[in-house]
Amino acid sequence: MRAWLRHPAAWWVMLVVGLLPLVSLVIQTVQDQLGANPAETLIRALGDWTLRGLCLTLAVTPVRTVMGWPELLRYRRMLGVLTFGYASLHLLGYAWFDMGFEWADIARDIAKRPFILVGFTAFVVMSALAATSFNRAIRWMGAQRWKALHRAVYAVAVLAIVHFWWMRSGKQNFAEVLVYAGVLASLLGWRVWRGSRRWSNQ
């Protein structure tokens, strides 16, 4: 596995795999296979893939540590940028299909509906992380400040779950929310546990 992760082609394979959900959604859209409400299906699917991307991105460090695969680190940035891409398309779908790019209406909707405000806040934080995800940003900010900023991904994960929960609360359908919340809680809990062990060993 480690040999494969080190292979020069592996990064591109992972990128293609990360783009497959988007390709599938485009094909379904073109072939009119998104059901009775294609706009809603598309927006929600993009939101789902954003949550999955967050889970995968946050899973890199635990898996790398537990399995002893340091090569995984080279994929974390790509996963984060892909996740931001899906989040951007999720927001674009809302602005386009739900609101028709009526910016004044969008601003009022964000202020009026808490679950959209929470989701938009998560996107703003993600934008800051994506904008500073390159080596030049690390050199400009300094490693410590860069790491401190990128710990905000934990806040993004929490906001994303709250956004999803609030969106599903109208239909009292929380099954998927609990699955994602459980996965993210486990990943964040592992970090807390590991940090407490480091602290106790000092």
State residue 201's pLDDT score: 66
At position 90, the amino acid (one-letter code) is H
State residue 200's pLDDT score: 66
At position 87, the amino acid (one-letter code) is A
**In a structure prediction context, what are the per-residue pLDDT tens digits for the chain, which is 202 residues long?**
888 999 989 999 999 999 999 999 999 999 999 988 999 999 999 999 999 999 999 999 999 999 999 999 999 999 999 999 999 999 999 999 999 999 999 999 999 999 999 999 999 999 999 999 988 888 899 989 998 999 999 999 999 999 999 988 877 778 889 999 999 999 999 988 887 877 766 5
- The total number of structural domains that make up the chain: 1
Domain range for 71 is 2-201
C-alpha to C-alpha distance for 61 and 121, rounded to whole angstroms: 25
C-alpha to C-alpha distance for 126 and 25, rounded to whole angstroms: 23
Q: By the 8 A CB rule, do 60 and 75 touch?
A: yes
In order of 38, 66, 95, 130, the CA distances from 47 in angstroms are 14, 29, 14, 17
Query: Which residue from 159, 158, 147 is spatially nearest to 188, judged by alpha carbons?
Result: 158
Full-model pTM: 0.93
Cα radius of gyration (the chain): 18
